[in-house]
Amino acid sequence: MITASPTFGHSSIGALIIVLIGAFMGVDVSSLLNNPAMSGGQIQNGGGGELTEADKRAGEFVSVVLADTEDVWSNIFREQVGQPYHPVTLVLFKGATQSACGGANGATGPFYCPGDKKVFLDTAFFTTLSRQMGAKGDFASAYVVAHEVAHHVQDELGILGKANRIRQQVSKEQSNAISVRIELQADCYSGIWARHAKEQFGSVERGDIAEAMNAAKQIGDDTLQRNAGRRVMPHTFTHGTSEQRQRWFYTGYESGELATCDTFGTDNL
């Protein structure tokens, strides 16, 4: 299980520590704060709302996961790619924010924007993941963060840009099919991260992989459509089925090798 530092006791001190964690770990928390030196602990953001203890815990947790991904991918790039890895920035926001890919809010869900090479994550997402989507546990949340970081890895490797250029030239259904391959590869890369995090840091305990596999199941396109009371429509899928997402995550976890995650070169998704 991935753990962070102890919970902060006071809002103003907690906010300051979040800022310091952000500066040290690469987490951009500027969207969380509005003149923190003058706020007296009532820290607001552009979308309104006080920075809660849960928000601070999210900041701590994300900083730990992000640091792990940086170390893991730096080693993998050195050993398997032969080039340096340039770490991603994670924007942890509350309410709403802006990216080079457009506006984002709690309904948007976590995403990677290649335009500014940042991952965007709403502080309330972990609560939504656990309570509304049935994906409980620290490692379920870590898997989601690792999945978004994996899109940055794809960007670093030139895969994401090439795939997105092709998507702009084809039909909606074909674009969706390419999107599925992008997302399943990110799941596979997430598995690679989990394997190497276990080996490098011993931060993966028994039961953690089951949490990640359950998260992958809960956010499969078919499961999301069924849970929303809709008919399952494969031509609309953009991320893959629950079975596919679980299988590709575990493929990466078992191998630890980038070469096993070629979702673009297989007919067996």
What pLDDT shows up at residue 27? Answer: 58
Q: pLDDT at residue 18 above 60?
A: no
* Residue, of 105 and 141, whose pLDDT is higher: 141
Using CA atoms, how far apart are residues 65 and 27, in angstroms rounded to an integer? 11
pLDDT tens-digit map of 78-109: 999 999 999 998 888 877 888 899 888 877 88
Q: What confidence score (pLDDT) does residue 42 get?
A: 25
Residue 235 structure tokens: 């031509």
Is 60 exceeded by the pLDDT of residue 236? yes
Phi and psi for 251 in degrees, rounded to 5? -60, -45
How many Cα atoms sit within 13 Å of 90 on the Cβ side? 33
Mean pLDDT of the chain: 82
Bridge partners of 93?
122
Q: What is the pLDDT of residue 54?
A: 77
Higher pLDDT, 118 or 24: 118
Range among 51-65, 68-82, 112-126 with highest mean pLDDT value: 68-82
**Judging by DSSP bridges, how do beta strands 96-99 and 102-105 pair with one another?**
antiparallel
The pLDDT of residue 244 is above 80: yes
Q: Once rounded to an integer, what is the mean pLDDT over residues 44-57?
A: 59
> Is the pLDDT at 163 greater than 50, yes or no?
yes
User: Is the pTM above the cut of 0.75?
Assistant: yes
- pLDDT score recorded for residue 76: 98
Is residue 40's pLDDT more than 50? Answer: no
HSE-CB for 70 with a 13 A CA cutoff: 15
Question: Looking at residues 130-142, what average pLDDT do you find?
Answer: 80
- Residue-level pLDDT at 162: 97
Hey, which residues does 28 pair with through a beta bridge? 91
CA distances from 263 to 181, 210, 258 (A): 6, 23, 11
Q: Is the pLDDT of residue 264 over 90?
A: yes
CB 40 within 8 A of CB 51: no
CB-based burial label for 133 (10 Å; 0-12, 13-18, 19+): middle
Q: Using CA atoms, how far apart are residues 139 and 182, in angstroms rounded to an integer?
A: 22
d(CA 138, CA 77): 26
Q: Beta strand pairing status for 111-113 and 118-122?
A: antiparallel
The band of 36, judged by pLDDT with boundaries at 50, 70 and 90, is very low
Q: Give the pLDDT mean for 145-155.
A: 96
Percent of the residues in the chain that have a pLDDT greater than 90, as a whole number: 56
Summarised one tens digit per residue, pLDDT across range 178-194 is: 999 999 999 999 999 99
